[in-house]
Amino acid sequence: MRYSLFVSVLIILNVVCQSSDILPTQSQEIHLETLQDLDNELKEEENIVNESSDELDESTDPQEIVEETLEEIEILKFNINGLKLREGIISEDVLRLKEFLKAMGYEGIIEDYKYDQKTKEIVMDYQRANGLVPDGVVGEKTFTKINEDMEINKIFIPEKKIIFSMDEDQVNEEIPEGNFIIINKDSNTLYHLSNREIIDKYPVATGKELKYTPEGKFTIVTKFVNPAWGGAGRHKPIKGGDPNNPLGTRWMGLNIRGGGVYGIHGNSDENSIGRYVSLGCVRMFNEDVEALYDLIDYGTPVWIGTEEKLGEYGIRFIYE
């Protein structure tokens, strides 16, 4: 604005000075009058800008901006009917629980997926402070109180997201389209994706030793409702549909030795979910595997590994 005015004035003065009909003294008077008008206009413009800035400063309360921003953030609450967290559980929810406890001022917390003895002790302190039974188990009542505290204190704890790339600039073209299953052995979490978007995720149990659950890129080659269990060469076989059948209500076999050795299946012991306990298969809650079973077709890719191994395939787990 100021530059335009200045240029305009110069043009006017140039025209005035070159006019042969105006005497030098008249030209000087015009110069002075024009410059005075310009100075007045510039001062007037500065006053307008300053007034606008003052109005903005007076009407904008930084605390109000922060509060409004926090209100717009959706608090990602825990599923009160989900996996119960107790000592020995390996889960993404354990990591989120630890982040919550840190936000509440508790110290000495190791940020990982494992619910250890220290975590149990801190949870018991939290339960005692909030009139809950101090048993160290995070179930419906404790989750409900945690969700309330997250809402009251505006504690936002993100969930792990998946990105697919070999580096920051290169998209991994090998990632399957359509239905796709990723199993993170570090967090005992199964992700169901479609077109590279997470549809749902489920807590699972994996091998009692790291090597038991195979790592790699597999596909679903067998599917059974109420599968029979052969006893794994150690026990008496159990027919399909029996509540004591360790395979539960569904089986989705991987393309390893025909699809009947390693698979994703249900369970007969809900307390095993979230732990390292199996002989190599991936266990799910029966209601979870039933829901997933209906969505998964033969040939669906299943990639299994630790976060380090999956990282080799261009899969990364990040907070977002």
Tens digits of residue pLDDT in 15-40: 333 433 433 344 444 444 544 554 56
pLDDT at 168: 56
Question: Which carries the bigger pLDDT value, residue 13 or residue 193?
Answer: 193
The pLDDT of residue 57 is 52
Q: How far apart are CA 69 and CA 75, in angstroms?
A: 12
**Burial track 165-183 (b if 16+ CB lie within 10 A, e otherwise):** eeeeeeeeeebbeebbbbb
Q: How confident is the model at residue 233 (pLDDT cuts 50, 70, 90)?
A: confident
Residues 235-260 have a mean pLDDT of 95
Give the CATH H-level superfamily of domain 92-152: PGBD-like superfamily/PGBD (1.10.101.10)
pLDDT, residue 25, reads 43
- For residue 263, the SS3 value is strand
pLDDT of residue 18: 41
| pLDDT tens string 57-86 | 555 555 554 455 445 567 899 999 999 999
What pLDDT sits at residue 17?
39
Kindly report the average pLDDT of the chain as a whole number: 83
For residue range 157-191, list pLDDT tens digits in order: 998 899 987 655 556 668 898 999 999 999 999 99
Can you give the residue ranges of every domain in the chain? 2-60, 92-152, 160-319
The dihedrals phi and psi of 116, each to the nearest 5 degrees, come to -100, -175
218 forms bridges with which residues in the sheet?
Answer: 302
Fold exhibited by the domain 160-319: L,D-transpeptidase catalytic domain-like (2.40.440)
Q: Strand pairing partners for 164?
A: 315
CA dist list (Å): 62 to 56, 70, 156: 11, 12, 20
Calpha distance 142→115 (Å, rounded):
15
pTM for the complete prediction?
A: 0.77
Rounded distance between C-alpha atoms, residue 286 and residue 266, angstroms = 5
Q: Which residues are designated catalytic?
A: 265, 281
Cα(274)–Cα(283) distance, integer angstroms: 9
What CA–CA distances, in Å, run from 80 to 83, 135, 136?
Answer: 8, 17, 15
3-state secondary structure 201-213: EEECEEECCCCCC
